[in-house]
Structure 1
Amino acid sequence: MEHSDLFNILHNAVEAQGNGKKITQKEMASLLGVSMRTYQDWRLGNAKPQAARAVMQMLGKLEDDDIIRVVRKINRLEEAS
């Protein structure tokens, strides 16, 4: 699986979470705290953030409930900072 596949899958999942409401690349980049150009490069596979694959592989080793727990914990830490 390519990095671009990961970002496209995640982008589509975020849209699905919003009942199919489209989210622009600019909006997604803003949510992630990166420039739109950087996000476009990730989605097109022109840039490959080193941590992305490692994080996905680590999450892939967890059970579904554990993934949810980890992501929620990360979100709480982000909100607190």
Structure 2
Amino acid sequence: MIDSRVNLLVLLAGTGTDRLVRCLKKEYTIHGNLESAVEYAFHNTRAPGTVLLSPGFTSFGMFKNEFHRGNEFRKIVLGIIDRGH
């Protein structure tokens, strides 16, 4: 389903990502942190496009929990908007 519905695939590095990429046929980029991933997605998504945070695995190494991860995503997106991009 990822290959047929997604135009740009941006992944966070981690053990789950290592397993996921073995199944992918679509091109992807891997980023070491959420800010880099969101910035890349924002600048490389064609309009009218959507940047969707869709966690496939836990990310306890980077975030306290899913709420922390979601809040960080929101903060990064709002920062991009505030900069006028």
Greater strand percent: which structure?
2
Assess same fold via TM > 0.5. no
Q: Give the TM-score taking structure 2 as reference length.
A: 0.33
Greater helix percent: which structure?
1
Q: Give the TM-score taking structure 1 as reference length.
A: 0.35
